[in-house]
Amino acid sequence: MSIRHEQKEQRRALILQTALDLFIRKGYGETKVADIAKAADMSMGLLFHYFGSKEKLYEELIRIGCERLKIDFDVMNESSLAIFTAVAEEIFSMISTNPSAAKMFVLMENAQHLDSLSEDLKEMLTEADKLIKKSIPLIEKGQLLGEFKQGNAEALAVAFWCSIQGIAQYIALHPETPCPDTMWVISILENRKAD
Amino acid sequence: MSIRHEQKEQRRALILQTALDLFIRKGYGETKVADIAKAADMSMGLLFHYFGSKEKLYEELIRIGCERLKIDFDVMNESSLAIFTAVAEEIFSMISTNPSAAKMFVLMENAQHLDSLSEDLKEMLTEADKLIKKSIPLIEKGQLLGEFKQGNAEALAVAFWCSIQGIAQYIALHPETPCPDTMWVISILENRKAD
DNA sequence: ATTCTCATTGAAATATTATTCAATAAAATT
DNA sequence: AATTTTATTGAATAATATTTCAATGAGAAT
């Protein structure tokens, strides 16, 4: 009861990894179970042995993603700038260190716009969308303090988070690419004077 | 030979628009012809009457996108900063004015990672990926002149273009959102000192 | 008014995909 | 070594999706 158990875990991991890669490359619908099986070099039957269905496999990935990608900046008594810097730093470090973290990032984003998902899964996912909303008051605070650029706070939040999202997506699909510097994205928010 | 011709064009346009919206929301594979037909309030048969197949419909959209979204910054004798500003300005103006332009942006991005496409279509699409590559020398020039931040030029290019991509994607999916200011994205590139 | 053309539909035919299952092989347990 | 369990496969089946088509109706042409 050792070799088996170990191989079982490896199989599961292999399937999850393979599926994640295909899902973010081609999308859920265009990724056929046959594709995953082929890429993971096993029969389709085995895939169904491990995960009951294509959808369950997908949901398992989302569940894992939700656990790993908990981004929060609720507390902290620091300046807005410091908070956003810390969060961005953490995200960039994740995606540049661990290729599958970047992929997870993309998966979660894509999953949001998928109808056929169980309700509890959908709830978990809306978290991400709330990131923008939750940033707004913090940004407004930063604007008052003069740390941040003036302008519509929601638009600033969109610019900041979508930039991160866009970059994460690129890194996920092109892992060999040099990762941008966190501070470059912070520049979007920062109120700075010309050189 | 007037009412008919006009309605024909309207139908085509309606189908294209509906499909574009669904394709970028759910992805090509998850968008069923039945979905498009239903959203456009017509029978599936009619859809096939206008466009021979789901794939042809998709390709038609890409073709349209390629025409409309010709982004170039080859010539111009201006500073790198001025060039990037002009390009970004143009893109932001497009996506904030015309909702379907933003959607096209997303479609083109997604299409790149789609295997099942005719070769000539794929070629058209690789253009976009070349944007980053083509930016590198311009960025290096800007760095030499002190206009741009120091650091890996490719990474800077990725940060800039992916931010735009990410923002365009968000605007496409949430058209009511206030559009970020072009200069915020330019801040990513710009070499500025703290306030 | 009659004929012609073509837009439109719904249902039937195909094609593709997901899923199940009986059979086999290989590891664990006795 | 015999038995039990379970990982694995490939082929069969079920479920979905795409595509075709014959029939209908509504403008255009005569």
Residue B174 tokens, joined:
């949430």
Q: Are A184 and B159 an interchain contact pair (Cβ–Cβ within 8 Å)?
A: yes
B151, B173, B179 ranked by CB distance to A113: nearest: B173
User: Taking Cα atoms as reference points, which of A8, A12, A165, A13 lies closest to residue A95?
Assistant: A165
Distance between CA atoms of residues B72 and A148, nearest Å: 32
**Residues of chain A with C-beta less than 8 angstroms from the C-beta of B180:** 155-156, 158-159
Distance from CA of B173 to the nearest CA of A (A): 9
* Cross-chain Cβ contact A25/B113 below 8 Å: yes
Using an 8 Å CB-CB cutoff, list chain B residues near A30.
27-29, 114, 116
Q: Residue B154 in contact with residue B171, Cβ under 8 Å?
A: no
Among the listed residues B90, B182, B83, the one whose alpha carbon sits nearest the alpha carbon of residue B138: B83
Query: From A193, which residue of chain B is nearest by alpha-carbon distance?
Result: B195
pLDDT at B17: 97
Check pLDDT > 70 for residue B1.
no
pLDDT in tens, B9-21: 999 999 999 999 9
- For tokens 């790149």, the residue is B112
> Cβ of B167 and A184 within 8 Å?
no
CB of A115 within 8 Å of any CB in chain B? yes
For chain B, give the percent of residues with pLDDT over 90.
74
Q: Which nucleotides of C are covered by protein (CB under 7 A)?
A: 6-11, 17-22, 27-29
Owner of token pair 């979660």:
A108
Per-residue pLDDT of chain A (195 residues; tens, 9 = 90+): 577 788 899 999 999 999 999 999 999 999 999 999 999 999 999 999 999 999 999 999 999 998 888 887 766 678 999 999 999 999 999 999 998 999 999 999 888 888 777 777 787 787 767 889 999 999 999 999 999 999 999 999 999 999 999 999 999 999 999 999 999 999 999 997 644
Question: What backbone phi and psi angles, to 5 degrees, belong to B192?
Answer: -130, 150
B92 contact residues in A (CB cutoff 8 A)? none
Tell me: pLDDT of B195 over 60. Answer: no
CA geometry: angle at B59 spanning B45 and B179, to 5°? 105
Task: Tell me the residues of chain A between 71 and 110 that have a Cβ less than 8 Å away from chain B.
Answer: 110
Q: In this structure, what token pair is assigned to residue B66? A: 């390629």
* Chain B positions in Cβ-Cβ contact with residue A170 (cut-off 8 Å): 158, 162, 165
Tell me which residues of chain A, numbers 29 to 58, contact chain B at a CB-CB cutoff of 8 Å. Answer: 29-31
Using the structure, give the distance in angstroms from the CA atom of A11 to the C1' atom of D3, rounded to a whole number.
Answer: 26
Q: Is B172 left (phi over 0), alpha (psi -120 to 50) or beta?
A: alpha
Map B28-60 to HEC letters.
CCCCCHHHHHHHCCCCHHHHHHHCCCHHHHHHH
Asked if A136 has any chain B CB less than 8 Å from its own CB, the reply is no
Q: How distant is C1' of D25 from CA of B60, in Å?
A: 30
Whether B72 has a pLDDT exceeding 70, the answer reads yes
| Interface membership of A152 toward B (CB under 8 Å) | yes
Protein-to-nucleotide distance from the CA of B40 to the C1' of D28, whole angstroms: 26
pLDDT of res. A6:
85
Give the tens place of pLDDT for each residue, B121-145: 787 787 767 889 999 999 999 999 9
Average pLDDT, chain B: 91
CA A8 to C1' D3, whole Å = 23
Statement: residue B119 has pLDDT above 90: no
Q: Average pLDDT of B92-117?
A: 90
| Residue with the two structure tokens 């944007």 | B131
Model pLDDT, residue A49:
97
% of chain B with per-residue pLDDT over 70: 94
The closest of A161, A24, A187, A37 to B113, measured between CA atoms, is A24
